[in-house]
């Protein structure tokens, strides 16, 4: 499973758990939301890090 698919599945799980309980203060909803948030932040940070590392050779991707 790729990282992108894993993150997408966490976001889908978060949505599914919320639709089941309809309460943002439920422990299951809180844990699913936190897991999805952490993975999305990691993905964003990793993407920006890769852009910064490749800026010398691939300027077009940075300015895109």
E strands in 1-64: none
Closest CA to 8 of 48, 54, 39: 39
Which positions ≥6 away from 19 have C-beta within 8 Å? none
Residue whose token pair is 């809180």: 30
Q: What angle do CA 27, 28, 30 make, to 5 degrees?
A: 65
User: pTM of the full predicted structure?
Assistant: 0.78
Radius of gyration of the chain (CA): 16
Q: What is the pLDDT of residue 21?
A: 95
Query: Mind listing the pLDDT tens digit for each residue in 37-63?
Result: 998 888 889 888 998 998 888 888 878
């Amino acid at each position: 499973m790729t990282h992108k698919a894993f993150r997408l599945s966490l976001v889908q799980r978060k949505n599914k758990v919320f639709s089941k309980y309809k309460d943002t203060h439920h422990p299951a909803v809180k844990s699913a939301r936190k897991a999805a948030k952490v993975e999305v932040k990691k993905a964003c940070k990793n993407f920006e890090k890769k852009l910064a590392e490749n800026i010398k050779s691939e300027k077009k991707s940075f300015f895109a």
